Amino acid sequence: MIPVNWYLYLALALFAIGLFGFVGRRNVIIMLLSIEIMLNAANVALAALGTKMQDVTGHILVFFVIAVAAAEAAIGLSLVVLLYKRFREVHMDEVRMLKG
């Protein structure tokens, strides 16, 4: 059986990758994907800790985080479509300079 600490290290690595993608990139779609990676890291950590504590609360929270991630993805992608329709651009630096 794989130790729980390895899952927590995986969650930490995923969260760091997502945070780097969110801070380091200016493309709105990449930023949304980075947020999804960070939410998945939280899911891995919650599932690992729920398994370690032998409690179903962590697994139940995973389902709530998945629901929040789905809503965030739907709203975020709809905003990206509106942003592209209005400015013909999805890079944050270019959109900030435009007025309209």
What pLDDT sits at residue 100? 57
What pLDDT sits at residue 98? 61
Domain boundaries, the chain: 4-97
Average pLDDT for residues 12-36, to the nearest whole number?
95
Average pLDDT for residues 1-6, to the nearest whole number?
92
pLDDT band for 83, please (50, 70, 90 cuts). confident
CATH fold for the domain made of 4-97: Helix Hairpins (1.10.287)
Q: What predicted TM-score, i.e. pTM, was given to this entire model?
A: 0.87
Q: How far is Cα of residue 3 from the mean position of the Cα atoms in its chain?
A: 25
Six-digit token string for 67 = 């629901």
- Structural contact between residues 95 and 89, judged by C-beta atoms closer than 8 angstroms: yes
Per residue in 26-82, pLDDT (tens digit) is 899 999 999 999 999 999 999 999 999 999 999 999 999 999 999 999 999 998 999
Of 69, 13, 71, the residue nearest 45 (C-alpha) = 13
What CA–CA distance (Å, rounded) separates 51 from 58?
A: 8
